[in-house]
Amino acid sequence: QKEDHGQSALVAHDDRKDHFIERNGVRCAGTHLIIDLFGAKRLDDLKHIKETLKRCVDVAGATLLHIHLHHFTPNGGVSGVAVLAESHISIHSWPEADYAALDVFMCGDADPHATIEVLNAAFKPERTVVKEHLRANTMHERTWEIAASKKAPVRLAKTKRAA
């Protein structure tokens, strides 16, 4: 695949999609999900993985900038990332173990939790484990005051899921 080197997303400053959020009174840079799929299927199917990542981006309300996937061998695992205006979705799969590790990190108005249902439908795991981390939620108040300036506005999260 062709790499994108040094390309910038053309997003107007007022339309930035990577803003900080406040969710249930907690200020943070975004939500990072660590997702483990056990007993999963189609983890060596490059086209299926690419289409699944695109569906994840769509249901989360995120903005896709680029997808890069690497297939290790014709029957091997896949490693890759969907780069988003709101951050990223990454995957690394071990089809021989029916296991995939995914990171879904999104800020702004995107809803990373919406990706879980898509991943479960696409890979049909026997078990899914999700861990959530609110990024930069431990920043002390003065740092947040600086981050909340016009350069990095803080907005209330519009996600469907409550924490």
Instruction: State the Cα–Cα distance between residues 77 and 100, nearest whole angstrom.
Output: 9
Instruction: State the Cα–Cα distance between residues 78 and 116, nearest whole angstrom.
Output: 19
Q: What's the confidence (pLDDT) of residue 17?
A: 64
Q: What's the confidence (pLDDT) of residue 81?
A: 98
pLDDT in tens, the chain (163 residues): 455 555 544 444 446 666 777 777 777 888 999 999 999 999 999 999 999 999 999 999 999 999 999 999 877 999 999 999 999 999 999 999 999 999 999 988 899 999 999 999 999 999 999 999 988 877 665 565 666 665 555 566 665 554 4
Identify the residue whose tokens are 């339309």: 15
Q: What's the confidence (pLDDT) of residue 29?
A: 83
Identify the residue whose tokens are 């995914």: 102
CB 21 within 8 A of CB 157: yes
What pTM was computed for the model? 0.78
pLDDT tens digits, 109-147: 899 999 999 999 999 999 999 999 988 877 665 565 666
Q: What's the confidence (pLDDT) of residue 97?
A: 95
- Active-site residue set: 87, 92, 107
